[in-house]
Amino acid sequence: MFDFKNKIVFITGAGAGLGLGCAIGFAKAGAKIAVADLSEKAVASAIAELTALGADTLALHGDVSKASDVQSMIDQTVATWGRIDVAVNNAGISAPIRPVAETLEEDYDRVMGVNLKGVWLCMRAELQVMLKQNSGCIVNMASALSQRVYPCASFYVTSKFAVAGMTRTAAVEYANTPIRINAVCPGNVATPLVLSTVDDLDSLASLHAMKRLGTPEEVANAVMFLASDLSSFNTGTLLPVDGGWTAQ
């Protein structure tokens, strides 16, 4: 369905979960994948899986909340392949579920550092490359919780509202260039982490009108749509992939 043959795709948080799902989708479509993640073990595992699919890969290790790490990963990608055609800013974390009065400053700093500052740092570096090459697509990983709230998850919800706002603002800023900037807004997805840590999967599924969890492949398909020429008139789009959660 999608053709990304020889396209250079940079993906953060690509060692597992949605990031790995996106990497697999792009790899199957012929792309060269820069696999960026904080965990060296996760990167090695992802590289092995993508290589088995025949993909040309680049292993990158870094913390997206640190400007020097982000710049290093972007520089390594450009030094290896000469450009970045698609950037998927997926790296994200959550915090312990707590009411606001019981939240901790270190949790706030950690979540905002990765989920919001990380997206900003990546977009800034990616845009500098894409402006020089006069082409490119950026897809940010927002959330259904960019439009809905979830009690006791204030830091995560706030970070994803902010990602949505940053995505749309940047998209308008660069709308007169060949660079498009969009975001996907997934609902609850059956990643290995969710399946292994959540006891009551039925309650998560019940939030969606379709009464089931999404799959990494379904989210990856939405990301690839926004990164492809099929969405050539889309910029500033917040695309729900949430089984009808936000439609209710």
CATH number of 8-240: 3.40.50.720
DSSP state of 113: I
Q: Which of 108, 150, 156, 174 is catalytic?
A: 156
Rounded CA separation 50/35 (Å): 10
Asked whether the beta carbons of 61 and 68 are under 8 A apart, the reply is no
Determine phi and psi for 37, rounding to 5 degrees.
-160, 155
Burial letters for 58-85: b for 16+ Cβ neighbours within 10 Å, e otherwise? bbbbbbbbeeebbbebbebbbeebeebb
Amino acid 192: pLDDT: 80
What was the pLDDT predicted at 229? Answer: 97
Q: What is the mean pLDDT of each run of 10 residues along the chain (248 residues)?
A: 95 98 98 98 98 98 98 98 98 95 98 98 98 98 96 96 98 98 97 80 95 97 98 98 97
How many C-beta atoms lie closer than 10 Å to residue 205's C-beta?
17
In the chain, where the domains are located: 8-240
Calpha distance 74→71 (Å, rounded)? 5
Dmax (CA) for the chain in angstroms is: 50
Residue 139 has φ and ψ, to the nearest 5°, of -125, 120
- Pick the closest to residue 89 from 143, 10, 30 (CA basis): 10
- Known catalytic membership, residue 156: yes
What does the alpha-carbon distance between residue 156 and residue 111 come to, in Å, rounded to a whole number? 7
Whose structure tokens read 């897809």? 139
Pairing of strands 57-61, 32-37: parallel
Whether the CA torsion 151, 111, 193, 242 is positive or negative: it is: positive
Rounded Cα gap, residues 227 and 235, in angstroms? 10
Residue 194: the pLDDT is 83
First-to-last CA distance in the chain?
A: 30
pLDDT of residue 195: 81
Q: What is the pLDDT of residue 193?
A: 74
